[in-house]
Structure 1
Amino acid sequence: MREAGRIVSEILDELEKAVAPGVTTWDLDALSEKLIYQKGARPAFKGYHGFPACLCASVNDEVVHGIPSKRRKLREGDLMKLDFGVVYRGFFGDSARTVPVGKVSSEAQALVNTTREALHKGIQAMVAGNRLGDIGHAVQRHVEARGFSVVRLFSGHGIGRHLHEEPDVPNYGQPGSGLKLRPGMVLAVEPMVNQGTDEVMVLEDQWTAVTRDSKLSAHFEHTVLITEGGPEVLTRHRAG
């Protein structure tokens, strides 16, 4: 799983570099697929319950599960969410980043910063002996203190020989509640944070989830191993 996580991180580094005005979400998906096979891995998302692409590419008010399109060109000021996973030797890695396209508004940047920080708060709570509710509470407290909302329809998840395994890892919760965290568990933690309401709806394509009030959303995710010595991020950034 460390190797799967490393591959995910390296490919996301390349995708992040490729994000620019004029680039289509289809271009990013094609690049991700090329890199997957170069690294001897397989796509985790393509074909999963019928999903048609290797990359979930969600822009602005799209929260998650956006389908790449040749018609969707990125513009200056957009928020591009890259959600990506691979299978390597039977094990999965999964991670997501929100990438500003060029110069974005101060409000958009604050949303991105808060979501990234919330992910780190959640990871800090991933200590053996803590509980799932401690992770969600750490995320929720950080987000709501800054005037944003956490999406409740989607959550993080266990991950290993399958992309989605038990348990669910909500981005909200009560301290001390839920399953106890034990060394050897691997969880994908992924705050999805909205500028306005936490409510989302799924479009007619049956995949793309958008904010109900059409305001911005941001998304960050890491695959994290719980160890005796604390959390180990398997998909940590290699490029800085």
Structure 2
Amino acid sequence: MLREEEYQHLRAAGKIARRVREEVPGLVREGVDALSIAQAVEERIIEYGGRPAFPCNVCIDSVAAHFTPTPSENIIIPKGALVKVDLGVECEGYIADTAITVGLPNSQVRLIEAAENALKNAIKTIRAGVRASDVGAVINDTIGKYGFKPIRNLSGHEIRRYILHTGTSIPNVRTKETLKLESGRIYAIEPFVTSGSGSGLVISSNSVNIFSVSMERNYDDRLLTEELNLLRTLREYTRGLPYTLRWIEKEKWQLHEKLVKKGVVRGYPVLVEKTGAPVAQAEHTVIVLEDGCEVIT
């Protein structure tokens, strides 16, 4: 079970995440640079008293996850875009993860509605002892009623202190898994929805601009001094949480690439819908209780 101090940190992170998410529709506009959206989100998280738990994701149309803009790119939000903004807040290592999809001007309204209602219905089912697969079945069935498909190889996830993805996964489809949700555990519930003509699958692209560093020390003796110094800096700053190159001095980027090649830094490829179909997302973080759950975002 969580201690009262842990609840306070989680609720603080959730309050900030909710506040920033509610401001996102005002940031996402046609013709705006995606980088400016991500930076504004991250700056507001800090302004409101938290730290970004991971780089703000700004994913457009068929791009489903793991895309954060970099200064070398010039990604402009196009007319009629479906824009997913996924953000996380960390307070003393306790994480709140949330996402919203914005349609411009009112594109793909039903796709967004399907994602939001799948999330809403899933949350209604959550309590201690419920199987994760039962939550997935509710998400799957809600999306199916719209004639759409869930993304079956993306899922929600358990969260622990300084660990964004761990433990039990929360599927977006029906499965035969028997794992049950436990009281006091934290989960991010995040339905991803694509059109009825889409594949319902995401694939990895060749683009990688989100990373995490290994906290294990068994790699350290293979590194040069300058590589080890950068690794230590990344460990101290991120505590193993995801980050992006724009958070690092540009003169360190080539050195960072060496850490990637040596396997001490992991990259997360941008994920795109296999057929290029649009994707919508909705997400909340919950604390499981005996008789329900507390939505902290």
The answer to whether structure 1 residue 224 and structure 2 residue 286 are counterparts is: yes
How far residue 174 of structure 1 moved from its aligned partner, in angstroms, is 4.5
Segment drifting more, 135-144 vs 121-130: 121-130
Q: In the alignment, which of 52, 66, 71 is matched to residue 43 of structure 1?
A: 52
Question: Aligned-residue CA RMSD in angstroms?
Answer: 1.6
In the alignment, residue 276 of structure 2 is paired with which amino acid?
S
Instruction: Show the counterpart of 1:137.
Output: 137
Q: Distance in 1 between matches of 2:106 and 2:194?
A: 20
Partner of 1:197: 199
The amino acid that maps onto 1:3 is A
Matches within 5 A, 1:88-127: 88-104=91-107, 108-127=108-127
State the Cα distance separating 1:145 from its structure 2 match.
Answer: 2.6
Would you say 1:209 and 2:271 are equivalent positions?
yes
CA contact (8 A) 1:198 1:211 kept: yes
Aligned match of 1:66: 67
Task: Summarize the alignment of residues 105-184 of structure 1 with structure 2, pairs less than 5 Å apart.
Answer: 108-161=108-161, 162-174=163-175, 177-184=177-184
5+ long unaligned stretches in structure 2? 1-9, 209-268
| Percent sequence identity over aligned pairs | 31
Contact 2:62 2:273 in 1 (8 A): yes
Are 2:150 and 2:191, in contact at CA under 8 Å, matched by a contact in 1? yes
Please name the residue that 1:80 is paired with.
83
**Deviation larger for 86-95 or 203-212:** 203-212
Counterpart mapping for 1:7-46 below 5 A: 7-45=16-54
CA positional deviation for 1:194: 1.0
**How big is the shift at 1:198?**
0.7
Higher Rg: 2
What does the per-residue CA deviation read over 1:210-235, in whole Å, with 9 as the maximum and x for residues that have no partner?
A: 11111111011100111134121110
Partner residue, 1:49? none
TM-score (norm 1): 0.88
How many aligned positions are there? Answer: 223
TM-score in terms of structure 2 length: 0.71
Structure 1 runs (4+) greater than 3 angstroms displaced: none
Greater helix share, structure number: 2
Per the alignment, residue 58 of structure 2 pairs with 57
